[in-house]
């Protein structure tokens, strides 16, 4: 009997799930969850949800409730996720942990603390450790260490790590306090500031983020050093205060006081803060103040960059050259000097570019636009038009004034983008300027907000805004939502839906990803459209999945042509996401050729696979099948022996036994 070459059933589900479905429909205890697990394992999360719900509601299954919460959380439906966590959190430690973590991520610290504590009472080790870390973050160190000790006794590695970190923090705080006390006894402001030098190590930024109470402790130490007369300590205190947006005025006052005491670094910090907030005139004033006595290279660099952004190129070059660094005289291992030289080169390149016709037109129209904007009862659109022209000419502070006067959501958005993208402003400070347009349904504004949150490392807020932008029809946002869902790994249907939404806007990569997903789950007819689109827009890997889709549809001759095309373009395939290998279309082509009994071409494809990878599983399997077809039992046995110990379904082992029996008959004829 000739072996079947086709591998189309190799990735088929281990079972149809009919028995599980029948048991679930009959109401057998635990069967709803079993069937939900079966569907989830097949990637059919939508279909599984009702069965998870049945298990959670009718059978009180805490794990089912937790699974539902996780699914909804991954779909950015946090309200529904919270509902399912709460359904079982009072009796299931895992749900209590999930609920506490969800609340913590949403900023509800009290709620998180409550549910970590309740989860700990239910025996959740994760709740014990995370609750202890939250206590430490509030400065309740003794309670935190006691609970971490309990978790350590139960073998929690994270608790060991957290306890070590907290003990080190407490030791450091005590050490800094002792050193500062010695300086206070001597009345020495310089020694007081020096006593806190380790506190300025970037390593402690993580400490401040993980344990917020340490911010207050560090601030108090700097305040003591400042009280001795250290102007530098005032600035470091101000930097800690500025972390709290509600204390901006207090932070500014501390830095200004340090400046009045003669510390040039205070003016530089003020310049950075104003620049981050989009106030370029204030930023420039403070950078100039930092360098007014000469010698503040960082202030000169910031002034050079600030002037370059506004196309004040002569001033920009003058500030940069005041540092004494130039294209021929700099240390390439010094990042500041390298940036100065790079900026000088950018200025030189800008000078070589001819003025654009658009700029010439803006200059010509500017007087008329200004007159219209300054007229009594000027329309907001007139104000916007003047601001937009100033923006185009890089007269950024003036443009900002007129965008603000226009007062519309459109003007606010333009101002936010200008200050963030051209003015060097920090994205999170610009969010209020983007939000009115996003609230009015501007998909691009919503996407920009998501990108800003991504830059800031706020994954939750970023995800919510990507989802909102995607719902408003933004293609790249829809692509991102699908991609993040797939990265999480458990909800391919949700990911695929968003890939399709993205592909419908004309994006090729999500079209490919949608088609690939459909092929993996056997929906070949749906996949064809998207894979053709992806191929036509230059994604060569689409040829492989298109070949598989056409094969699944029974259109073998077309499938062969697409798989041949995939093999021809194989070298252009991108590396796969998790590893260094490319998707290899050759085994699929060989398999189909063998099914069509085109053995000569199949043998050539297989030989190339084995030449590159002698131990290739499918390559040796196909080589063995081809050898047996042509009657070369010894060659067939050799290939099957190469992979017999890696045979997953037993077919190779069975074929090898049959061949050995045939060889024995040939060697010992009766």
DSSP labels for 603-667? HHHHHHHHHH-TT-HHHHHHHHHHHHHTT-HHHHHHHHHHHGGG-SSSHHHHHHHHHHHHHHHHH
Q: How confident is the model at residue 9, as a pLDDT? A: 34
The alpha carbon torsion through 118, 124, 125, 127 (nearest 10 deg) reads -40
Which residues touch 650 (CB under 8 Å, ≥6 apart)? none
Q: What are phi and psi of 329, to 5 degrees?
A: -135, 80
Q: 528 and 550 in contact (C-beta within 8 Å)?
A: yes
Residue 321 lies in a domain: yes
How far apart CA 48 and CA 269 sit, in angstroms, is 55
293 and 215: one domain?
A: yes
Q: Where are the alpha helices (DSSP H) in 11-77?
A: 18-26, 31-41, 45-58, 62-74
Q: b/e map of 302-322 (b: 16 or more CB within 10 Å)? A: bbbbbbbbbebbebbbebbeb
Residue 628 lies in a domain: yes
DSSP 572: G
Place of tokens 């100065």: 340
Q: How confident is the model at residue 581, as a pLDDT? A: 62
152 and 263: one domain?
A: no
Strands (DSSP E) contained in 245-322 are: none
Q: How confident is the model at residue 14, as a pLDDT? A: 44
Helix axes 443-455, 475-488, angle to 10 degrees: 40
Q: How confident is the model at residue 582, as a pLDDT? A: 72
158 and 238: one domain?
A: no
Looking at 352, 372, 388, which one is the last position of a domain? 352
280 and 150: one domain?
A: no
Residue 84 lies in a domain: yes
Looking at 352, 377, 394, which one is the last position of a domain? 352
Task: For residue 214, give the CATH number of its domain.
Answer: 1.25.40.10
Q: How confident is the model at residue 354, as a pLDDT? A: 84
Two tokens at 117?
Answer: 């504590």
Residue 248 lies in a domain: yes
346 and 208: one domain?
A: yes
**pTM reported for the whole predicted model:** 0.88
Q: 629 and 617 in contact (C-beta within 8 Å)?
A: no
How far apart CA 670 and CA 665 sit, in angstroms, is 8
Place of tokens 């007159």: 371
Minimal CA–CA distance to 627: which of 615, 640, 609? 640
Q: 30 and 22 in contact (C-beta within 8 Å)?
A: no
344 and 209: one domain?
A: yes
Q: How confident is the model at residue 667, as a pLDDT? A: 55
Two tokens at 270?
Answer: 């003020």
Q: What are phi and psi of 286, to 5 degrees?
A: -75, -35
DSSP 310: T
Minimal CA–CA distance to 609: which of 628, 591, 635, 631? 591
Place of tokens 């459909």: 518
Place of tokens 């797939």: 486
* Other C-beta atoms lying within 10 Å of the C-beta of residue 526: 17
Angle at 656 between CA 650 and CA 659, to 5 degrees: 145
Q: Give the number of C-alpha atoms closer than 13 A to the C-alpha of residue 410, restricted to the C-beta side.
A: 9
149 and 221: one domain?
A: no
Q: 585 and 566 in contact (C-beta within 8 Å)?
A: yes
193 and 338: one domain?
A: yes
**Could you tell me which residues are beta bridge partners of residue 329?**
326
Residue 474 lies in a domain: no
Q: How confident is the model at residue 357, as a pLDDT? A: 85
Minimal CA–CA distance to 109: which of 140, 73, 154? 140
Residue 407 lies in a domain: no
Count of the separate structural domains present in the chain: 3
Q: 257 and 226 in contact (C-beta within 8 Å)?
A: no
Q: 196 and 180 in contact (C-beta within 8 Å)?
A: yes
Residue 139 lies in a domain: yes
Find the length of the chain: 670
Place of tokens 């699908």: 482
**Could you tell me which residues are beta bridge partners of residue 326?**
329
Binned average pLDDT, 10 residues per bin, the chain of 670 residues? 36 64 93 94 92 96 96 94 97 97 96 97 96 96 96 96 96 96 95 93 86 95 96 96 96 97 95 97 97 87 97 96 90 92 95 86 94 95 97 97 97 98 96 98 98 95 96 97 84 94 97 95 95 97 97 97 96 68 89 96 96 91 92 88 76 74 60
Residue 380 lies in a domain: no
Q: How confident is the model at residue 7, as a pLDDT? A: 37
Q: How confident is the model at residue 3, as a pLDDT? A: 39
247 and 334: one domain?
A: yes
Looking at 164, 197, 219, which one is the last position of a domain? 164
Q: How confident is the model at residue 446, as a pLDDT? A: 98
202 and 99: one domain?
A: no
134 and 39: one domain?
A: yes
Instruction: Please give the C-alpha separations between residue 82 and each of 53, 63, 86, 242, 492, in angstroms, as whole numbers.
Output: 14, 14, 6, 33, 22
202 and 283: one domain?
A: yes
Two tokens at 335?
Answer: 């990042």
For residue 284, give its domain range: 188-352
């Amino acid at each position: 009997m000739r072996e079947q070459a086709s591998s189309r059933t190799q990735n088929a589900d281990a079972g149809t799930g009919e028995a599980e479905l029948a048991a679930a429909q009959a109401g057998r205890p635990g069967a709803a969850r079993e069937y939900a697990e079966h569907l989830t394992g097949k990637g059919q999360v939508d279909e599984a949800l009702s069965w998870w719900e049945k298990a959670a509601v009718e059978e009180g299954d805490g794990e089912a409730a937790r699974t539902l919460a996780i699914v909804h959380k991954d779909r950015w439906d946090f309200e529904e996720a919270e509902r399912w966590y709460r359904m079982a959190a009072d009796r299931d430690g895992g749900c209590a942990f999930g609920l506490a973590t969800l609340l913590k991520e949403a900023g509800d610290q009290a709620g998180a603390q409550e549910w970590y504590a309740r989860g700990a009472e239910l025996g959740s080790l994760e709740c014990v450790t995370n609750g202890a870390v939250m206590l430490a973050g509030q400065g309740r160190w003794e309670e935190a260490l006691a609970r971490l000790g309990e978790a350590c006794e139960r073998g929690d590695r994270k608790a060991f790590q957290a306890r070590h970190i907290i003990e080190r923090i407490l030791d450091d705080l005590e050490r800094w306090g002792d050193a500062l006390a010695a300086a206070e006894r001597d009345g020495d402001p310089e020694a007081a500031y020096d006593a806190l030098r380790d506190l300025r190590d970037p390593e402690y930024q993580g400490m401040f983020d993980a344990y917020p109470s340490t911010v207050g402790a560090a601030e108090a130490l700097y305040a003591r050093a400042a009280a001795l007369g250290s102007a530098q300590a005032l600035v470091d205190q101000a930097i800690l205060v500025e972390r709290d947006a509600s204390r901006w005025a207090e932070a500014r006052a501390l830095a200004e006081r340090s400046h009045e005491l003669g510390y040039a670094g205070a003016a530089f910090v003020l310049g950075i803060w104003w620049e981050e907030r989009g106030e370029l005139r204030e930023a420039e004033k403070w950078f100039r103040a930092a360098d007014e006595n000469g010698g503040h290279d960082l202030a000169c660099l910031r002034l050079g960059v600030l002037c370059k952004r506004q196309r004040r190129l002569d001033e920009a070059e003058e500030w940069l050259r005041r540092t004494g660094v130039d294209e021929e005289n700099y240390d390439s291992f010094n990042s500041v000097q390298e940036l100065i030289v790079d900026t000088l080169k950018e200025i030189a390149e800008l000078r070589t570019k001819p003025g654009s016709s658009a700029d010439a037109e803006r200059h010509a129209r500017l007087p008329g636009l200004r007159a219209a904007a300054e007229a009594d009862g000027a329309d907001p659109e007139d104000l916007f038009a003047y601001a937009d022209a100033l923006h185009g000419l890089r007269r950024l502070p003036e443009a900002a004034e007129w965008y603000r006067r226009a007062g519309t959501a459109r003007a606010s958005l333009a101002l936010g983008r200008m200050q963030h993208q051209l003015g060097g402003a920090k994205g999170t400070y610009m969010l209020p300027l983007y939000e009115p347009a996003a609230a009015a349904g501007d998909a691009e504004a919503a996407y920009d907000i998501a990108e800003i949150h991504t830059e800031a490392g706020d994954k939750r807020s970023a995800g919510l805004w990507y989802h909102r932008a995607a719902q408003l029809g933004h293609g790249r946002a829809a692509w991102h939502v699908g991609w993040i869902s797939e990265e999480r790994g458990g909800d391919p249907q949700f990911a695929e839906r968003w890939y399709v939404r993205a592909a419908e806007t004309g994006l090729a990569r999500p079209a490919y990803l949608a088609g690939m997903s459909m092929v993996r789950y056997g929906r070949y007819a749906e996949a064809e459209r998207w894979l053709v689109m992806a191929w036509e827009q230059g994604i060569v890997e689409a040829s492989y999945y298109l070949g598989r889709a056409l094969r699944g549809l029974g259109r073998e001759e077309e499938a062969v042509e697409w798989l041949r095309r995939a093999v021809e373009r194989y070298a252009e395939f991108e590396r796969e996401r998790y590893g260094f290998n490319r998707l290899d279309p050759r085994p699929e082509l060989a398999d189909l050729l063998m099914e069509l009994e085109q053995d000569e071409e199949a043998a050539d494809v297989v030989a190339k696979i084995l030449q590159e990878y002698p131990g290739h599983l499918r390559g040796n399997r196909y080589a063995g099948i081809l050898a047996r077809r042509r009657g070369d039992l010894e060659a067939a046995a050799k290939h099957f022996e190469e992979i017999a110990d890696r045979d997953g379904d037993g077919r190779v082992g069975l074929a090898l036994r049959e061949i050995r029996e045939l060889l024995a008959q040939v060697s010992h004829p009766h």
